Every structure is written in C-alpha cells, then in structure tokens.
Amino acid sequence: MENKEKTFINRWEVEMFSPPCDPGSPIWAARVKTDAHLAPVMPYVNAKMKNAFYDPKVPTIVWREGEHKYALRENIISINNLRDRDQALRVAERTVKKLNEIWERREEIKPDYTTRVPPKLLDILKLLPRTNCGKCGVPSCMAFAAQLVEGERCVEECPSLLEKDKQEKLARLKSMGL
Ligand code: SF4
C-alpha cells in the first residue's frame, strides 16, 4: 500500500503467517514490511505507549494495545492475534497511520529512551496454569511464557486463563504488558 502524502512510512506490504508452533491455527500474525527504518520513531512510541518493552540497544519495542500485540524491529511491524487478512490490513493501516502521526508530532513529544525489559520467565510461569496441556499450540507453559516474552503471543491464547477462577492471574499477566 502507498500513502499519497510523503511522510515517515510511505509504502508497506503485509505478509500473513500462522504461529510457527501451530501451523494451520485459525489465529494469524502479520509482518508489515515498511520502506522506513523504524528505530528513529521508537523513543517517541515509548513515550506514548504505557507498559511498552523498549530496548534501544537492539533497537526494538513491543507493546500491547487492545487485543493485539505490536513489535517494531528494523523495518518490520509485527502484529499478532489476527482473524484474517482483512483484519490484518485494517490493523496494519491504522498502525502505520499512528506511527506517521507520532513522527509528525515528534517536536511536541519528549522522547523516552528508558529501557524496559519484559518480566522474567519464572515470574510469568508462576501465573500460568502449569498443566502443560498444549492447547496454546506449544507443548509446555514454559514455551508459551517464552513466546509471551518475545511478543509473539497474547496471554488470552492460553484458554485455561480465560476460565472464571483465573481472572486475577490473567489481569496480573496483562498488567505486565503481556
Ligand atoms: S494452554 Fe495454557 S496451560 Fe496449556 S500449555 Fe499453554 S500456557 Fe500452559
């Protein structure tokens, strides 16, 4: 796709894939390849997004908004938890627009270079059901925790966490930005 007006991101294309651990899954993720290297916008995104994980050394930033998780790295925007290509295109377009708006308003935004790393694997594991049931598409809760840290999955992809008696743990995991 192409923006009519020249701005930070002018062209992008969407590639869909199912999580590598769960080929054939009805849940999709998207890689949005842009014509811009995204590192310069990251400190401004970090200033705007609460609970983002930002590592300026890589550089990369991961944040959660609503039902999706977003990650920026090099010239790629990753978006997870998508139902189909139509939804992916809509969410991708909205995200590109948001990044362009942040970039255009960068004079008004104080960039935040604070490093914030994801919680430790064991702290996440303590809040997961630890039954290793495999319903999330990986064979163990530890593997799922690792994918949460990488920003590849959302906590709601563990069906057990959606049960009534797990709501407090679910809320705590979400408050960690997972
Ligand atoms: S679905 Fe939940 S309980 Fe089952 S293995 Fe995955 S993380 Fe663990």
Q: Which domains does the chain have, with CATH numbers?
A: 12-104 (3.30.310), 121-175 (1.10.15.40)
How close is the Cα of 152 to the center of ligand 1, in Å?
Answer: 15
Look at the alpha carbons of 28, 3, 95, 31 in this order and tell me if their dihedral is positive or negative.
positive
Nearest CA to ligand 1 atom 8: 141
Query: DSSP letter at 136?
Result: T
**pLDDT given for residue 11 in this prediction:** 96
Ligand 1 near 166 CB (within 6 A): no
pLDDT of residue 25: 61
pTM of the model: 0.74
| SS3 at position 82 | strand
How far apart (Å, rounded) are the C-alpha atoms in residues 106 and 95? 16
- 81-127 per-position pLDDT tens digit: 898 899 999 999 999 999 999 999 999 999 999 999 888 999 999 99
**Is residue 23 within 8 Å of 29, Cβ to Cβ?**
no
Ligand 1 in contact with 162 (CB < 6 A)?
no
Mean pLDDT, the chain cut into blocks of 10 residues (178 residues total): 76 83 68 97 94 92 88 94 91 97 97 92 96 93 90 87 95 87
Q: Please report the sign of the dihedral spanned by the C-alpha atoms of residue 167, residue 173, residue 176, residue 178.
A: negative
Ligand 1 closest atom vs CA 131 = 3
Q: For ligand 1, atom 7, name the residue with the nearest CA.
A: 141
